């Protein structure tokens, strides 16, 4: 006699957020990236629908990164000083479907680029490549309040994902996103209560919760990954149980966290037993990403093409193994 599996029944689902707008929708992107929409926990296909797979955004910078290890710089060595060529290389050579532009050069300590210059760069990238775009500020609240609205206006109609809005600095960015038709990244410091409160504050300004993507501020393998996993899992359980303010997709800055780990970038001459840094850093980024996928990550911002290739294969394998038997 066949035994039926015990299946969880959920009362809600994650919101679907669209990134990018085609010509018919008033933009110029070749396609729209859809994230979210799950009616169950990650990859438990018998329990509910999972209409959209996790996606990877290639991270590019507005200026050459100074603190990236040589292993990470090598695949982009010929384009690091030119964001337009960098974006085109990601799309043409590595088949990127989504780009994440980090405006690090706007930071007062990293070049202090002007809002007009960053807005012009956004315009030129949108003309150079036709994939959807995520735009992230430099992390300095005062400067982001000047730069991000200018970039939002420059990309008006393209339905970008722009961030980050934080609890103490969200009003200016929310107003810009509302005016220009974009979606927003709401960043919280690995705290489910702050994440929910920030979403409430943003929605109170008139931006629908269906246009919010949560950045839970993850940690890499060996640097808080387990705690980040548990917070994301709790948030997803709350969302599926009916908490509308938590029913948002997740974005995780995997590359940023993985490549700052000592184990990812230390040279083999310093730690011979650790093995070649070229292999180690890629593995550190890939393992961090695959763990976060299992906790519910929808967008993974990654850096090394080899790590991205491995994780894309992992995602495709999970999404094609959806015919789990309902009984045994």
- pLDDT tens profile 69-112: 999 999 999 999 999 999 999 999 999 999 999 999 999 999 99
Strand 16-19 relative to strand 33-36, pairing:
antiparallel
Give me the mean pLDDT over the 116-123 stretch. Answer: 98
Q: Which pLDDT value is given to residue 29?
A: 98
Q: How far apart are CA 172 and CA 71, in angstroms?
A: 38
pLDDT tens-digit series, residues 254-300: 999 999 999 999 888 889 999 888 899 999 999 999 999 999 999 99
- What are the structural domains of the chain? 16-320 (3.20.20.20)
Tell me the pLDDT band of 322, cut-offs 50, 70 and 90.
low
Judge if pTM exceeds 0.85: yes
Tell me the pLDDT band of 6, cut-offs 50, 70 and 90.
confident
Q: Which residues pair with 214 in a beta bridge?
A: 186, 250
Strand 212-215 relative to strand 183-187, pairing:
parallel
Residues 185 and 219 sit within 8 Å (Cβ to Cβ): no
Within 13 Å, how many C-alpha atoms sit on residue 193's CB side?
0
Using the structure block, give the residue that is written with the tokens 């039926």.
4
pLDDT tens-digit series, residues 206-256: 999 999 999 999 999 999 999 999 999 999 999 999 999 999 999 999 999
């Amino acid at each position: 006699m066949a035994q039926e599996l015990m299946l969880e029944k959920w009362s809600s689902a994650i919101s679907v957020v669209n990134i990018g707008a085609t010509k018919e929708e008033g933009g110029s992107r070749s396609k729209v990236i859809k994230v979210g929409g799950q009616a169950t926990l990650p990859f438990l296909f018998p329990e509910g629908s999972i209409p959209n797979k996790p996606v990877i955004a290639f991270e590019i910078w507005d200026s050459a990164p100074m603190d990236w290890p040589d292993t990470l710089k090598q695949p982009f060595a010929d384009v690091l000083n030119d964001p337009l060529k960098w974006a085109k290389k990601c799309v043409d050579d590595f088949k990127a479907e989504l780009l994440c532009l980090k405006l690090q050069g706007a930071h007062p300590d990293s070049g202090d680029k002007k809002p007009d210059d960053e807005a012009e760069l956004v315009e030129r990238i949108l003309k150079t490549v036709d994939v959807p775009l995520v735009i992230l500020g430099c992390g300095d609240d005062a400067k982001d309040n000047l730069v991000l609205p200018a970039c939002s206006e420059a990309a008006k109609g393209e339905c970008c994902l722009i961030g980050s809005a934080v609890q103490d600095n969200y009003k200016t960015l929310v107003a810009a996103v509302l005016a220009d038709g974009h979606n927003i990244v709401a960043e919280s410091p690995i705290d489910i209560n702050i994440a929910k409160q920030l979403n409430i504050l943003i929605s109170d300004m008139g931006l629908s919760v269906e246009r919010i993507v949560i950045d839970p501020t993850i940690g890499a393998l060996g640097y808080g990954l387990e705690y980040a996993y548990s917070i994301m899992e709790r948030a997803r359980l709350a969302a599926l149980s009916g908490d509308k303010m938590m029913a948002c997709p997740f974005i995780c800055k995997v590359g940023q966290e993985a490549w700052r780990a000592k184990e990812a970038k230390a040279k083999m001459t310093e730690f011979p037993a650790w093995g070649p840094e070229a292999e180690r850093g890629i593995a550190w980024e890939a393992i961090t990403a695959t763990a976060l996928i299992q906790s519910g990550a929808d967008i993974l911002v990654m850096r090394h093409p080899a790590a991205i290739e491995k994780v894309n294969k992992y995602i495709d394998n999970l999404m094609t193994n959806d015919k789990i038997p309902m009984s045994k």
